[in-house]
Structure 1
């Protein structure tokens, strides 16, 4: 089984490095300056043991890969890049290739199933960072993350069990779960705060905005009749497993990092925007998530620095 990690950023890059170090055949797919840096110097992995360079194969896209039986795609791009990635994959990878969505949000698996027969979801609990080309960081140690996996839309099979075993061999916690989408909706509730984390200053009102966005998302999922893992079940899964590898706070989560790198895009439509979509489908208001989505997209579009908007200014546009 060879792992094709499409999206070698924070989550994908760290996972690809650990898989490679465990002896698992791996090919990374990267782009831009990150691709150039990996090709020239290798991928630098920083974790609780220090820094090391991993000489892992890397490609600019699926067309550069000689596809073979046993290949598995680990799709680790942001949700806004899923469609483009699937188009590239469908042009050269066999339709029977398993596609594993290592992504936040809950719509990636459904989109992948249009093009590929065997699709799996992963509930990613893996704090990681990627701010410099060629460098990724695991922010937890000694276990870098939890990667529970299940077949989409439900169930498990021998492929899911084999992939979970490969994740465990690479140092991660991983369990096959037949109800993986319930776990991913639970993760979505944690992720609706990403857009707030990305744009708002850490000042009075910040925590309340994030809490209101989550409460609103819970109400929407309940009204839509969608099952999700409650916070206490998520917390119990993490327990004492995910331990910080570095002193001091991280700069921010994945959306914050997108703004910090100046990528020009952000994942807000797939996170807060998912709650907005469900709310509209069920005739419900979702002002906090709509405001979060709009502000995050504006910051990405205008190239604004992360965490630079006063919470009071954010609240002033609520519902407007």
Structure 2
């Protein structure tokens, strides 16, 4: 297949390397020093056990239109970066091209193909101007949940921290030839790629932790283990998660694990810095809209209160604005 990874950073690049090495025609969309490094030396992936893989994709560019027409487009960037490139995507699609969305948080398409009172309702927190929905036909979209953790340790080199599972799902819960073909491609490349008949419940299971642990870590500079072991922040995370669970259940979501088990799972990850804390340390924009504001928006839609989530969002949003205004980073020595 012709596969384009738009935003081939830590996760997108991980996919790109292994899909290319398994025989697919892979194009990577990159920027800056990462782009130049991959052009010159290829893209290296260091797996959990230390094994190094080197791929030289078919095309490496910063211009989406140069990718040519693709069978699959994987959106590997963060949620707040999608709107900026959405209008460029139709140029690389044919009538059957599928788009795999790999953003954390509540996706822009959440209520599309979801029967009920809110069917088709936009999520303004992640698509405020509607440009994503206008540019990507909902029939093209395949939802996904990203479970691996990896990081770009230097331009052109990605290190896997843990995990290799990418759950995929049609928005209507269907089982189609195209999603099976994509899942098979992932599996051949060495990933676990189960197909979910309820992708929204899978998304909520990850959102459940992200909406709490990410902003708390950004504010406190604590790791997942530290947050869970310190009683006040453990209870703060639990309070945010209880509010979110009430919203999810009002939307028909089934939480397949208990709240305590979800917190225990985060604690078991150990001394790991969340992506939002890493963004604070490196002066990058925070994923607050997709991870937190979107859940607040769903709370308003379902008329469920979110006082704890609102308070943590306000504090973290102010931190993000302050860092952006001063073009600053914040890191413990």
User: Normalised by the size of structure 1, how large is the TM-score?
Assistant: 0.81
**Residue 309 of structure 2: aligned partner:** 289
**Residue 305 of structure 1: aligned partner:** 330
**Residue 225 of structure 1: aligned partner:** 251
1:17 Cα deviation from its structure 2 partner: 1.2
CA distance in 1, matches of 2:92, 2:20: 24
Secondary structure at the aligned position of 1:181 is classed as: helix
Find out whether 1:166 has 2:223 as its counterpart: no
**Cα deviation 1:274-311 (Å, max 9, x = unaligned):** 21111222333313322333333333331342579xxx
Equivalent residue in structure 2 for 1:216, among 222, 240, 243: 243
Please list every run of at least 4 consecutive aligned residues from structure 1 whose deviation after the TM superposition is greater than 6 angstroms: none
Contact 1:131–1:261 (Cα < 8 Å) also in 2: no
Equivalent residue in structure 1 for 2:155, among 123, 127, 133: 133
Q: Report which stretch shifted further, 176-185 or 130-139.
A: 130-139
Equivalent residue in structure 2 for 1:277, among 297, 302, 317: 297
**Residue 279 of structure 2: aligned partner:** 258
In the TM superposition, 1:84-233 aligns within 5 A as 84-94=84-94, 96-109=96-109, 114=134, 115-116=136-137, 117-140=139-162, 144-192=163-211, 193-202=213-222, 204=230, 205-222=232-249, 224-231=250-257
**Cα deviation 1:124-156 (Å, max 9, x = unaligned):** 11122235332222112xxx4211211124312
**Residue 315 of structure 1: aligned partner:** none
1:52 Cα deviation from its structure 2 partner: 4.3
Gaps of 5+ in 2: 111-126
CA distance in 2, matches of 1:305, 1:134: 25
CA distance in 1, matches of 2:208, 2:256: 9
Contact 2:246–2:304 (Cα < 8 Å) also in 1: no
CA RMSD of aligned residues (A): 2.8
Change in Cα spacing, 1:147 to 1:60, as seen in structure 2 (3 Å) is same
Q: Report which stretch shifted further, 189-198 or 47-56.
A: 47-56
Change in Cα spacing, 1:13 to 1:228, as seen in structure 2 (3 Å) is farther
**Residue 21 of structure 2: aligned partner:** 21
CA distance in 1, matches of 2:40, 2:237: 41
CA distance in 2, matches of 1:270, 1:35: 26
Change in Cα spacing, 1:63 to 1:87, as seen in structure 2 (3 Å) is same
In the TM superposition, 1:38-77 aligns within 5 A as 38-47=38-47, 48-56=49-57, 57-68=59-70, 71-77=71-77
Secondary structure at the aligned position of 1:105 is classed as: coil
Change in Cα spacing, 1:28 to 1:55, as seen in structure 2 (3 Å) is same
Change in Cα spacing, 1:132 to 1:293, as seen in structure 2 (3 Å) is farther
Q: Report which stretch shifted further, 292-301 or 72-81.
A: 292-301
CA distance in 2, matches of 1:139, 1:61: 29
CA distance in 1, matches of 2:63, 2:308: 37
1:46 Cα deviation from its structure 2 partner: 1.8
Secondary structure at the aligned position of 1:212 is classed as: helix
Aligned residues: 291
User: Normalised by the size of structure 2, how large is the TM-score?
Assistant: 0.78
Gaps of 5+ in 1: 309-320
